Structure 1
């Protein structure tokens, strides 16, 4: 393929990407992130991936695109913004309500982006075929071992800020990433440079001190990890710091001054549902599995399941100081899930007097309690 033909193909790709709702499109060479394997290796060696064993299991493929697909020559990186209007952290000001990460306040982005990404990839192949060139593609939306943030920086979409998320001078931080791997020789774009300067707003705002240093994240301390990926009880040392965050945490993103350039999401399905902007804790505490699935149908929240979700809501209830929530928490002492029962004990420790807690303990004496639930009751008796 001639250089002119490749340039025309790239221009057509970018035009189609914009038509499909993507807010940025740039291209990197498959060998553009030689430093990534070493950084990943150190991240894993430090244990900063917490219980996400799949990161270690896919280390080789994750560190180098050609290990994932040997024929890869170029990687098309794409961004789609999900920024909302107003203050993204406003729900944190109402202790009676739940704070849900901005990206999860409507439809699952995988469902929205994947179809458009496939359409864009087919467009690329069709345009190449018109020029007499056969190509191949593979598409990814955060579902494969792809180092998408280093690749996006290599392509020029933005740079990895001190909070390790991608930052764009045009889009801020509120956007999803997606990739098309291809064997077509598309022209590459210039890599972006770091523009964080001396700013450390994202590091200083973190409620749990999850950044051991700039550009390094310890997932074991991160509220997003704890509320979404972590399957067991929330470690006691982080519960108070969670506040009313029940799914994810946006503090480090919201603190970034580059977000003054953030654009409101064009895609309606990525704009916040009114009922998920600040849902009342009192209502969420009453969800059984059927109602949980109905409320979060099509939402990324659905994938953590009702029990983990209720665990998070109970932590928020305990942090609320709203004694009226105790009546909604008490029934959960008898929940089928030990995870929920343990979190309910902790919440009541924070919401009722010690004498009332003793009465509740007598009424809800477990037959064969889970070890974690026993530990929560033991802590309650020591308070």
Structure 2
């Protein structure tokens, strides 16, 4: 059954497959509790509120016996760091340049689930794509898909750091795979690459300083001490992933076609993005994961990028936002103008 299941997963576009037990892992539970106790989850209160369900698959669903861990590649064809040298352009994380991965992964997971039910009609299962209290990365490591690197993301020998992860909880007793050994060695490239020092130690992430958290999850103004570190990143950040040496084995040809980047999101001009109203924002990001943060938070991010660019050609679109209806956008515009003023004085 497991051999046939792996083959069907491959047919559906999953490039990694593994199985682990649904029972509680005391080490995994302790690490989650320590991370939450340190406040490293920031304002993501749902992680603490449902930590019992997150800590163990059986804490979420008592009847679960096995976890099928799966991954799809979204390996980029070009260097995700290339736009750092073009501050008038916005940097959008690779994973958000194509279609919303939640939709693609869930569709394929459900197809695999239907196939499994057809083979084992008495079994029960549930599918998850990071919108439920499921620790996909530790479970993926336990199932042998790869290991959690020093940047805390899953690293695969074949696909590097570029994997979308999903999980199927099932009442079937499937033989577990062997966890993957850690192959980070003495490398600290991901730690050194972080612009906001979000890693207090290897294998530890303080989300409160992470650019992905700040540009996506964080509401309200970003602390001024962190704004310069954002650079021209307006949605997510790829830096710690992009510098991982294991990426040299990742092939963009393995990527699902849904994850191909949309041309208008590869290197968009900040001047265009700053002019978006709510309707324009919704049109541009229809079918994109970016849509969920809303126009106001998105424009806030673009204003920080404009200020960091100190590009005086952006002065007019920034000034146009001084009377915006959202006070956070107004404050971000004022901050950006202050950066322009500093540029003029120098």
Q: TM-score range by the shorter chain?
A: over 0.9
The structural deviation recorded for 1:280 is: 0.3
Query: Partner of 2:322: helix, strand, or coil?
Result: helix
The structural deviation recorded for 1:353 is: 6.4
In the alignment, is the contact (CA less than 8 A) between 1:78 and 1:177 conserved in 2?
A: yes
Quote the residue 2:295 is aligned against.
Answer: 306
Structure 1: runs of 5+ lacking an equivalent? 1-8, 357-383
* Residue from 112, 118, 129 that aligns with 1:141: 129
* Residue from 337, 361, 365 that aligns with 2:326: 337
Runs of 4+ in 1 over 6 A off after TM superposition: 353-356
Quote the residue 2:271 is aligned against.
Answer: 282
> What are the equivalent positions in structure 2 for 1:215-254 lying under 5 Å apart?
215-254=203-242
Query: Partner of 1:190: helix, strand, or coil?
Result: coil
Quote the residue 2:248 is aligned against.
Answer: 260
Q: Which has the higher mean CA deviation after the structures are superposed, 23-32 or 346-355? A: 346-355
Distance 2:109 2:189 in 1: 34
Q: Which has the higher mean CA deviation after the structures are superposed, 31-40 or 271-280? A: 31-40
Quote the residue 2:158 is aligned against.
Answer: 170
Quote the residue 1:363 is aligned against.
Answer: none
In the alignment, is the contact (CA less than 8 A) between 1:25 and 1:76 conserved in 2?
A: yes
Quote the residue 1:113 is aligned against.
Answer: 105
In the alignment, is the contact (CA less than 8 A) between 1:33 and 1:150 conserved in 2?
A: no
1:153 and 2:145 aligned: no
Q: TM-score, normalised by structure 1?
A: 0.88
Q: Deviations over 1:50-79 (max 9, x none)?
A: 111001001111001101000111000000
In the alignment, is the contact (CA less than 8 A) between 2:24 and 2:58 conserved in 1?
A: no
> What are the equivalent positions in structure 2 for 1:9-158 lying under 5 Å apart?
9-31=1-23, 33-129=25-121, 134-158=122-146
Quote the residue 1:325 is aligned against.
Answer: 314
* Residue from 177, 184, 192 that aligns with 1:204: 192
Distance 2:342 2:238 in 1: 33
Q: TM-score, normalised by structure 2?
A: 0.97
Distance 1:53 1:32 in 2: 22
In the alignment, is the contact (CA less than 8 A) between 1:318 and 1:350 conserved in 2?
A: yes
User: How many pairs does the alignment contain?
Assistant: 344
Distance 2:55 2:256 in 1: 32
Alignment root-mean-square deviation, CA:
1.4
